Amino acid sequence: MEAFFEALGWVAFVLLVLIGLAAGWIAGMLAGRNRLAYLALGVIGAIAAPLILFALGVTALAAGGVILILIVAAVGAALLLALGRAVFGRR
């Protein structure tokens, strides 16, 4: 995992967190409740998606640059938010 963060850099890591926070904030505003949970899920999804692809050996992600990593982070955050909504959303 250290190699992932070395390759990614701290600036890109902060951008991943910001992407996750933005996705979580939007989901929290749409849901109207559990805003803190949506923020946390967004950040986890944004960080986990590029990390999982890196662990699986997807080298095209690194070749695509920071923009591709941020797109993958946004998709990962959206997927985890949708999963969280499906599991915990309706009572």
Domain-located, residue 91:
no
Question: Could you report the per-residue pLDDT of 50-91, keeping only the tens digit for each?
Answer: 888 888 887 666 666 778 878 888 898 888 888 888 887 664
Whether residue 69 is contained in a domain is answered as yes
How many structural domains are present in the chain? 1
Distance in angstroms (rounded) separating the CA atoms of residues 27 and 34: 10
Question: What gap in Å lies between CA 66 and CA 15, rounded to an integer?
Answer: 9
CA distance 35 to 40: 9
- Examine residue 50 and state whether it is found in any structural domain, yes or no: yes
Cβ-based burial of 71 (10 A; exposed 0-12, middle 13-18, buried ≥19): middle
pTM reported for the whole predicted model: 0.77
Distance (Å) of CA 88 to CA 8, 34, 85: 32, 10, 5
> Which residues span the domain enclosing 53?
2-86
